[in-house]
Amino acid sequence: MLAAIIFAVSLYLQAVIGYFAALIMLCAVTRDDAPRLAKFLTMILFLVALPDLSDDYHRYLWEGYLGLKGYSPYLYAPATLADIVKHPSGPLVNNPHLTAIYPPLAQWMFRLGAFVHPSIWGWKCIIALSFLVSYAFDRSTLKLAFVPIVLFEGFWNNHLDVLGVILLWHLPKALERKQPALAGALLGLVCALKIVPILWLPFMFTSLLPQMRRQFLASFALAAMTPWLFHADEGFQLWTSFLVYTKTWSFNNLLYHCMQLFATTHVARIALISGFVVVYVAIFFSEKSWRTKALLSWLALICFSPTFYPWYLLWLVPLVTHTKHINGLYACSFLSYAVLLGFRKHGVWQESWWWLVPEWIGLGLFAFIVVKEELQ
């Protein structure tokens, strides 16, 4: 209750430090046996709160509304239609010169949200409905309603990733129950929302019995590729902004920050990519379970990617046995929101050593704890 009060007051004041205090309190009281009523009320509190730490949702709303009006977000950047299509989120989209970066299934979800209501409330309805449908199939989904990172980055700041996490929540059980078609379809849908989780495909594929692999791969391909077929006529435009992102984006990676002191941006990116490939191959050929490999590969991706936002940790939630082990990682990553202090006060987006160093020391420590706990 105290955490909820601190969060509500911080929301009114737009105080990043207050959010951090509320987060730490939520991490401290999170437990699996928390009353269901407390979980539902906490989830509702974060669902009705307007996003504050990220403006990504403005692009969701804009692209969903654009699609309903008959324009392809892969062909038209927000800046090119500013005078034609009117929507409150239009002028607030970041990088308005870039076309859509999100895969087709994500665009369908954006349009569905815009159809419900062309505001943040339409998108929040999609997130809430996805959670309720998941809960109807598997009551253990309720555990997500009391995981701090899900509350903050999913239900409050409304990142698309939370829809993938809800789908991914069912995947381990599908594999355990020897349901390759369902597992493949779930992973395919996840990759149709966000491309990067395709990294886990080899781990899951090789973990299955040989007679199950063809069924798994077929259902994966069907679920992952079908949404793309509806946009086949847009060709290379589907990948334009994604390639720009991979080549130019950078934020909140201490390793990349340090490498830039001694090498060019291009050399630093090549070194990071090479490092990730080596680690990924080593993980693939290890004797670990698919779940441990997925966990290790995602931690490696965070370590070697030039760009790391706190909500990237959302994807770890379905991969760990005890979600409370993610709390420490997320609390450390939350320090990166200190960039908003200078941005809101002076309009300057500037990374700083004073929060980068302690953040990554903490991330390293808690990543070690998470991996150690999962290997036991």
- The predicted-structure confidence for 4-41, as pLDDT tens digits, reads as follows 888 888 888 888 889 999 999 888 877 777 788 888 88
CA 216, CA 226: separation in Å to the nearest integer? 16
Inter-residue contact 235 to 109 (CB < 8 Å): no
Instruction: Please choose, from the candidates 154, 153, 96, 92, the residue with its C-alpha nearest in 3D space to the C-alpha of residue 119.
Output: 92
CA 241, CA 267: separation in Å to the nearest integer? 22
CA 180, CA 186: separation in Å to the nearest integer? 10
pLDDT at 312: 97
CA 225, CA 217: separation in Å to the nearest integer? 12
Per DSSP, the three-state class of 322 is: coil
How many CB atoms within 10 Å of residue 101?
22
Predicted confidence (pLDDT) per residue in 285-318, tens digit:
999 999 999 999 999 999 999 999 999 999 999 9
Predicted confidence (pLDDT) per residue in 265-294, tens digit:
999 999 999 999 999 999 999 999 999 999
Residues 6+ apart with CB under 8 A from 58: 89, 92, 93, 94
How many CB atoms within 10 Å of residue 285?
9
Q: 307 has which bridge partners?
A: 251
Dihedral (CA of 139, 19, 368, 309) sign: positive
Give the chain's end-to-end CA distance (angstroms, integer).
34
Q: Which has the minimum average pLDDT: 140-144, 304-308, 331-335?
A: 140-144
Q: Mind giving me the DSSP string for 101-152?
A: -S-HHHHHHHHHHHHH-SSHHHHHHHHHHHHHHHHHH-GGGGGGGG-HHIII
Instruction: Please choose, from the candidates 327, 290, 49, the residue with its C-alpha nearest in 3D space to the C-alpha of residue 168.
Output: 290
pLDDT at 64: 95
How many CB atoms within 10 Å of residue 324?
16
Inter-residue contact 63 to 225 (CB < 8 Å): no
Inter-residue contact 358 to 335 (CB < 8 Å): yes
Residue 2 confidence class, pLDDT cut points 50, 70, 90: confident
Inter-residue contact 69 to 115 (CB < 8 Å): no
Q: 251 has which bridge partners?
A: 307
Residue 375 confidence class, pLDDT cut points 50, 70, 90: confident
Torsion angle of C-alpha atoms 335, 341, 342, 347, degrees rounded to 10: 120
Q: Which has the minimum average pLDDT: 96-110, 188-202, 341-355?
A: 341-355
pLDDT at 321: 83
- Tokens at 326, concatenated: 């993610």
Residues 6+ apart with CB under 8 A from 89: 57, 58, 59, 61, 62, 65
Place of tokens 């990116």: 269
Burial tier of 177 (Cβ tally within 10 Å: 0-12, 13-18, 19+): exposed
Is the pLDDT confidence value at 120 over 90? yes
